Amino acid sequence: MLGTSTGAAEHVHVLGVRFDLMPRSHVVEQILGWVAEGSRHMVVTAGPELVMQAVADVDLQRILHVADLVTPDGVGIIWAARRAGRRGVERVSGVDLVEDVLAAACERHQPLRVFVLGATPASLSACLAEFARRYPGCRFAGHHGYFAPADLPEVLEEVARFRPNLWLVGLGQPRQEKLIFEHLRDLPACVGIGVGGSIDVWGGTIKRAPAWVRRMNLEWLYRLLRQPARWRRQLALPRFAWHVIRSRRQAS
C-alpha cells in the first residue's frame, strides 16, 4: 500500500481488480482522517473502462493493487459485484466524492489546501473560481493539463510548493493514476485522487446528468447522447460484461 491500509473495508474482485465496498460517507471520513494525520495515500475511482485497461496493462494492475482505496464508479461495477453476491454496493464517483469531502471539511472548519491538475486553462480557472465560491474555508490552486512531458518536473514543483492536502488529478485514465502513483511519494504528504473529466463538470464546461438520470444509473447514456464521440470508449462496456460473465462461468 502507498499508506496505511483501510484494513476493515469489505471488498470484491472484478476481473482481478480489488474494489473496496465502503459507502461514500465512509470514504469521505477515511480521506479526512488521512488528511488530519498528515499521511500519504492514493484513491482510485474505477469503472469498467479502467478495469478493461488493467486487463491488458500489467503496470496498471500493479497500481490498482497497491492503491489505498479503489471505489466502484459505474453501474457496470455494481452489476459485477451483484453477480459476485455483493448487494447494496454504492457507487462512489470522483465528482461526488470530492464535493462531499470539501463540503464536510467546510462544515467542520477543517481547512483544506487543494491542488487541481488538469483540463484546459479556461475550464480549470472556472473550476477554481467555483470551488472558492462554494467552499470558502478551503484554499485552491491548480495547473492546466496541457503541458509537455518535459514540463512535468516544473508542474510537480508547483504542486509541492503549494503543499496540498488533496491533489486532484484530471488527466484521463489511466494517465492520471500512473502519474499519481509515480510522483505522490515525491510530494509533501497528501491524498491523491484521480478525477477524470470532473474538472470540466465543476467548471461548467460540461453539464452533468440530472439527478434522476443518475439515480437510474443511466449517466453513461446521458453522456454518450451529449458527446457522441465517446462511442468508441463505450465499446469497453459490452467487452467488460462478456469478460465478467465468462469469468463467473469458468469459476463455477
Q: What is the pLDDT of residues 229-250, one digit of tens each?
A: 554 666 677 888 898 998 866 5
The ranges of the chain with pLDDT < 70 are: 1-9, 207-235, 248-252
- Tell me what pLDDT residue 228 has: 59
Helix %, strand %, coil % of the chain (to 5): 55, 15, 30
Residue 65 — φ and ψ, nearest 5°? -70, -35
Cis before 174 (ω within 30) = yes
- Tell me what pLDDT residue 238 has: 82
- How far apart CA 236 and CA 220 sit, in angstroms, is 12
Q: What is the pLDDT of residues 126-167, one digit of tens each?
A: 999 999 999 999 999 999 999 999 999 999 999 999 999 999
- Tell me what pLDDT residue 4 has: 47
Residue carrying C-alpha cell 461514500: 24
- Tell me what pLDDT residue 241 has: 87
- Tell me what pLDDT residue 237 has: 77
Distances (CA, A) of 23 to 26, 119, 176: 5, 28, 24
- How far apart CA 207 and CA 6 sit, in angstroms, is 34
The H or E element that residue 37 is part of is: helix 24-37
Provide the whole-model pTM. Answer: 0.88
- Tell me what pLDDT residue 235 has: 66
- How far apart CA 194 and CA 168 sit, in angstroms, is 6
- How far apart CA 93 and CA 70 sit, in angstroms, is 10
Q: Specify the 3-state DSSP secondary structure of 69.
A: strand
CB atoms within 10 A of CB 136: 10
- Give the residue extent of every domain in the chain: 11-28+37-146+160-206
